[in-house]
Amino acid sequence: MAEHVPDQNPTTVLERETQRVEPPPSFQVMILNDDYTPMEFVVMVLQQFFSKDADQAFQIMWKVHIEGKGVCGVYPRDIAATKVDQVIEFARQHQHPLQCVMEEA
């Protein structure tokens, strides 16, 4: 019959490793200026797709008009991509060349 041999080191202590998980990158969605899309349409897009009030929408639209682009919002990748697609599709349906892009924030 085999004899039971006790562990050489009966009190093993495991140290907990803390892993720091980086948050996923955020992406800013921007509208680009063009010479054809009416300012009122841009304001409507900002209100409808980015939940901006009239003042916020006007300020962003004006920044697009003056500086060439304006940030509509910052989102996770999937939401940003969806918003870009929605804005471009909506603009095409209304026969406007409005461009909407995203870049890492």
pLDDT tens per residue across span 32-51: 999 999 999 999 999 999 99
Per-residue pLDDT for 7 more than 70? no
**Confidence (pLDDT) at 20:** 86
CA 52/CA 83 separation, integer angstroms: 14
CA 47/CA 105 separation, integer angstroms: 22
Q: In this structure, is residue 3 part of a structural domain?
A: no
Q: In this structure, is residue 51 part of a structural domain?
A: yes
Q: In this structure, is residue 42 part of a structural domain?
A: yes
Find the helix or strand (DSSP H, E) in which 19 lies.
none
> What total of structural domains would you count in the chain?
1
Q: In this structure, is residue 20 part of a structural domain?
A: no
In the structure, what pLDDT confidence band is assigned to residue 1 with cuts at 50, 70 and 90?
Answer: low
CATH (domain of 69):
3.30.1390.10
CA 81/CA 21 separation, integer angstroms: 23
Task: Say what the alpha-carbon torsion angle 34, 37, 42, 45 is, to the nearest 10 degrees.
Answer: -110
CA 27/CA 24 separation, integer angstroms: 10
Q: In this structure, is residue 80 part of a structural domain?
A: yes
User: What average pLDDT does the segment 68-80 reach?
Assistant: 98
- What is the chain's mean pLDDT, rounded? 91
**Confidence (pLDDT) at 5:** 57
